[in-house]
Structure 1
């Protein structure tokens, strides 16, 4: 009952017995409470420390129980004093923290200038995206590289995109051409288009990018290592540059309803935009694997496409294929 005052049940029982039987010895208390004498002595010491026992005036060398009205009230007042002291310490601590934060801000003025927030972990990123999507008033620009999107990513995006589209927000997204080869990603893109979203694809796209109302952008800290998290920034210069990058990517992308493998109009043996990008990447010195990563396709697909191009160019080596592709104006 009195544990809230710091009095344990065993000590409380000893205190009650001493109030009822003030002349009981340790041995008598031990027998009455079915406790060892060591336990009783420990409780007596505790009660004395709490000022619930004091020296007897009638029998020198013994202790008597202080009445609850006085003893417990003293404990309450003592706790109130301790609480007040702790509150004062907390108030001083808050002042010290505020000063430290202010001093740190002065030492690092660029933090405010950058208007940037580092998001570490999927939960932190998802929470920030939920807030940004909820506060959208006009549009969201998105670049989704990598071809096939994970099912977890699609599941997390669906309720946010659906709510935004129903509010009349423009969702404008660029996927990689290779996303058309993944049933789940393609179905998601078509679902967005049906609800009013605008979707295009391109063979090569910049790293993942989201721009909210042309005011706030979210990009990966390191596109090659998503575990490092994302950066959310509202710095006007950075957002404007990222928006321009999106617009350039969008202009060269193909609408979802158009076949990305269309041939060039000026030559019957022209190549698709994806094939052209593959030739450019390999001609720049990229390995098949690196080129596949940029295009969002597998290593097997890269080699199959390159073999088909060599056959069309009637080339016996990739070097010869490069020369003939350049002669035809494909590079």
Structure 2
């Protein structure tokens, strides 16, 4: 009679472990047996049964019978465990020893580096980080962060891959009780991936706000170390000088006070605040930037969206063309009687 065994999670660890228990029980009862005899009465799914047999072989609990092809015999559990566990323990000890050695080497070299900086740079630490290294350094800073991280993310929506990478790092900090505040540009509200990312983080305790325009990217850990874009390439500047870091924190706080709490795309369109704020920003930028592309870049929106906002401004002010629009905007911003709602 076939015995039916229920397995709740065939693909997961629990399912494989359960199948291993069943197979090992058969091996204990039957002694030497073929694979068919081992599997015959259990009615396990074939992929799961194969994984369980292979794992029992890896642990040394099922071994081929000498001189009898296709026949397995079971090994004493204690003997198999004595063979399998000590090498793993040695590997862990060796890996920890290697970690301690490498960290010690870096600590010794860091002392030399810091001494050279103190001797040669009276303004404090300002280090250029290669673009290839910035992710690893940010991961390390996130692991060491204990109280607060401040982030300014200009440029509108962020790529999905970047959000996925940041989510793991950010959630780990929030779970440790680190306070997290982030400022985006308004256009980030209308990107589904960014909206979903912000929703997950705010549920975990993060605070997120948006502004129409924002200074370049900034990350500050524990008000001690800041990262800004490098001025001459794709890398970053790592700043430890406390006077400079304090200045950057002050700039962030100013932006934070002026920013509005992040809301969904639906709520933002319904309330109309973000749209009107965006149009006011465009109105001011149009007096400084002759090209739509430059205005769009400042606001982190597409050139097409920028042109749509400009078209609405022309309609609201009754402008006949772009030159007329510029005149009306200049008049409005000077308070010369044109529509001051711009």
Place the TM-score, normalised by the shorter chain, in its bin.
0.5 to 0.7
Match of 1:305 in 2: 309
- Partner of 2:123: helix, strand, or coil? helix
Checking the alignment, whether the CA contact within 8 Å between 1:177 and 1:260 is kept in structure 2 is: no
Flag the 1:229–1:167 CA change in 2: closer, same or farther, 3 A. same
Unaligned segments of structure 2, at least 5 residues: 1-108, 333-337
- Partner of 1:257: helix, strand, or coil? coil
Q: How does 1:20-169 map to 2 (within 5 A)?
A: 105=116, 109-110=120-121, 113-122=123-132, 124-169=133-178
Unaligned segments of structure 1, at least 5 residues: 1-97, 265-269
Offset of 1:328 from its aligned partner?
2.5
What do the CA deviations read for 1:237-288 (whole angstroms, capped 9, x no partner)?
Answer: 2111111111111111110137556567xxxxx9711111111111113410
Flag the 1:106–1:230 CA change in 2: closer, same or farther, 3 A. closer
1:321 aligns with 2:325: yes
1:205 aligns with 2:223: no
CA distance in 2, matches of 1:271, 1:257: 13
Checking the alignment, whether the CA contact within 8 Å between 1:140 and 1:213 is kept in structure 2 is: yes
Flag the 1:106–1:177 CA change in 2: closer, same or farther, 3 A. closer
Match of 2:250 in 1: 244
CA distance in 1, matches of 2:322, 2:197: 37
Offset of 1:196 from its aligned partner?
0.7
Offset of 1:294 from its aligned partner?
0.7
CA distance in 1, matches of 2:248, 2:117: 29
Match of 2:71 in 1: none
CA distance in 2, matches of 1:271, 1:298: 14
Flag the 1:154–1:116 CA change in 2: closer, same or farther, 3 A. same
CA distance in 2, matches of 1:106, 1:176: 37
Flag the 1:157–1:271 CA change in 2: closer, same or farther, 3 A. closer
CA distance in 2, matches of 1:149, 1:155: 10
CA distance in 2, matches of 1:106, 1:212: 21
1:182 aligns with 2:182: no
- Partner of 1:114: helix, strand, or coil? coil
What do the CA deviations read for 1:307-329 (whole angstroms, capped 9, x no partner)?
Answer: 11101111112333344341223
CA distance in 2, matches of 1:144, 1:106: 30
What do the CA deviations read for 1:220-242 (whole angstroms, capped 9, x no partner)?
Answer: 103xx7x5300111111211111
Match of 2:288 in 1: 284
After TM superposition, the runs of 4+ consecutive aligned structure 1 residues lying more than 6 A away are none
Checking the alignment, whether the CA contact within 8 Å between 1:221 and 1:231 is kept in structure 2 is: yes
Flag the 1:192–1:302 CA change in 2: closer, same or farther, 3 A. same
Flag the 1:106–1:152 CA change in 2: closer, same or farther, 3 A. closer
Match of 1:272 in 2: 276
CA distance in 1, matches of 2:247, 2:303: 32
Offset of 1:164 from its aligned partner?
0.5
Checking the alignment, whether the CA contact within 8 Å between 2:153 and 2:183 is kept in structure 1 is: yes
- Partner of 1:204: helix, strand, or coil? coil
Offset of 1:217 from its aligned partner?
0.3
Q: 2:237 aligns with which of 203, 216, 231?
A: 231
Flag the 1:286–1:204 CA change in 2: closer, same or farther, 3 A. farther
Flag the 1:292–1:187 CA change in 2: closer, same or farther, 3 A. same
Offset of 1:106 from its aligned partner?
8.5
